[in-house]
Amino acid sequence: MAGIYIHIPFCKQACHYCDFHFSTSLKYKDEMLQSIIKEIGLQQNYLGSQTIETVYFGGGTPSLLTGDEVSRIIEAIQTQYDLSKMPEVTLEANPDDLNLQKLREFRNTSINRFSIGVQSFFDEDLKWMNRAHQANEAESAIKRAQDFGFENITIDLIYGYPLLTDQKWEQNIQKAIQFQIPHISSYSMTVEPKTALANFINTEKQKPLDDAQSAAQFQILMAELAANGFQHYEISNFAKPNQFSKHNTNYWKGVHYLGIGPSAHSFNGESRQWNIANNAKYLAELATKKIPFEMETLSLNDRFNEYIMTSLRTMWGIDLRKVNHDFDSQIKDKLLAAADEYLSKNWLAYADEKLILTQEGKLYADLIASELFITENEF
């Protein structure tokens, strides 16, 4: 089993906090679509004969595509790979794109899951973020998608920014719960280099983000969603039973995937590669049937550290039997020694040969992971 990620590098406008690769000009949208389809053909051997279990349209803003354009990409994948298992096909969407006409088009494609970028149900917060939609559009988009028969819906919510009081945050969470959607992804606002938010903070037009506020709102999130039947299966992801994102779960479990489009990443177990994050150069290279990418072969240390980072963030945790099998007992022994401090602090729990974050430990996931890494000089 494997997955395919399609990067659609266009947005209507730039959110103040976003550092993903995209362009706000749609001038070369048709040419980009043709190049993406061409790259799918050129990458026909990357995943071998593996059956495709998931297809994920990310960006950027994939909901800027028409239904016909989505179908053309799916058909291109189908000519190269086995889609017989009826894969989970997710499309990221901005609320303002999910009008009646667009939903009619998407209903006639293979899309069976939406990831809707709500971020907040408050207009003042959306304006602060420079989002393209308004709060009422977010509510309408969710309801409209449900009315069209799309039951597998996730929404994104952001916390940890100055305008968001704890009371407003609880209202956001409760509003999401009221829609009876099966999945919620929620992220703490971060300041990424070269974003408008970073510039605002650096020039003192905006005060720095408050880590304590973010931690408190993360705890509110965990408590509210647990009380309403959501499983916290990954640090930023919550789902009703059997409603986990297959695509992202496969990422965290080390399943191979192919990334198509500018800036898209691919992973085959032994190496990682990433396409150039430049639309013009991507188009120019694909015009000559070349894929502009860089690649790195993963060392044993790289593979171990990546396993630690991805698995620790999940409800399944670090499987010590897998560590012993895929790496060696010496690495397992070092891991256990490094974990001892966090076991004693009750940030980690040990059960059934697994190391799993406790509720408190989830506040320190990145710190703990970094302390469990091995360096190039150790093995």
- Tens-digit pLDDT profile for residues 77-92: 999 999 988 899 999 9
pLDDT at 133: 96
Region(s) of the chain under CATH 3.20.20.70: 2-252
- Please state, for a pLDDT cut of 70, what percent of the chain lies above it: 99
Looking at 1.10.10.920, 3.40.50.300, 1.10.3720.10, 3.40.228.10, the CATH number of the domain 300-372 comes to 1.10.10.920
User: What is the per-residue pLDDT across 153-165, written as a single tens digit (0 to 9) for each?
Assistant: 999 999 999 999 9
pLDDT at 217: 99
Give me the pLDDT at residue 16, please. Answer: 92
pLDDT in tens, 261-274: 999 999 999 999 99
Which residues face 287 on adjacent strands? none
Instruction: Place 20 in a pLDDT band, splitting at 50, 70 and 90.
Output: confident
> Residue 379 above 80 pLDDT?
no
* Digit-coded pLDDT (tens) for 100-136: 999 999 999 999 999 999 999 999 999 999 999 999 9
Confidence of residue 27 (pLDDT cuts 50, 70, 90): confident
What average pLDDT score do residues 164-168 get? Answer: 98
The answer to whether the bond into 60 is cis (omega within 30° of 0) is yes
* E strands present in 140-267: 153-159, 183-188, 231-234, 237-239, 257-260, 265-267
Reported as a pLDDT band with limits 50, 70 and 90, residue 377 is low
* Residue 378 pLDDT level (bands cut at 50, 70, 90): low
Q: What is the mean pLDDT of residues 187-192?
A: 95
**pLDDT tens-digit map of 319-358:** 999 999 999 889 999 999 999 999 999 999 999 999 999 9
- Per-residue model confidence as pLDDT tens digits over 223-262: 999 999 999 999 999 999 999 999 999 999 999 999 999 9
Rounded-to-integer distance, Cα 5 and Cα 285, Å: 20
Indicate the residue type of 319.
D
Q: Using an 8 Å Cβ cutoff, are 224 and 174 in contact?
A: yes
Alpha carbon separation from 352 to 165, 316, 317, 355, 369 (Å, rounded): 40, 11, 11, 9, 20
Contact 125, 162 (CB under 8 A): no
**pLDDT one-digit tens code per residue, 284-325:** 999 999 999 999 999 999 999 999 999 999 999 999 999 999
Higher pLDDT, 275 or 198: 275
List pLDDT tens digits, range 33-55. 999 999 999 999 999 999 999 99
Mean of pLDDT over the chain: 96
Domain 2-252 CATH assignment equals 3.20.20.70: yes
Boundaries of CATH 1.10.10.920 in the chain?
Answer: 300-372
Query: What's the pLDDT band for 26 if we cut at 50, 70, 90?
Result: confident
Cβ pair 155, 172 in contact under 8 A = no
Per-residue confidence (pLDDT) for residue 95, from 0 to 100? 98
> How much of the chain, in percent, has pLDDT values that exceed 90?
93
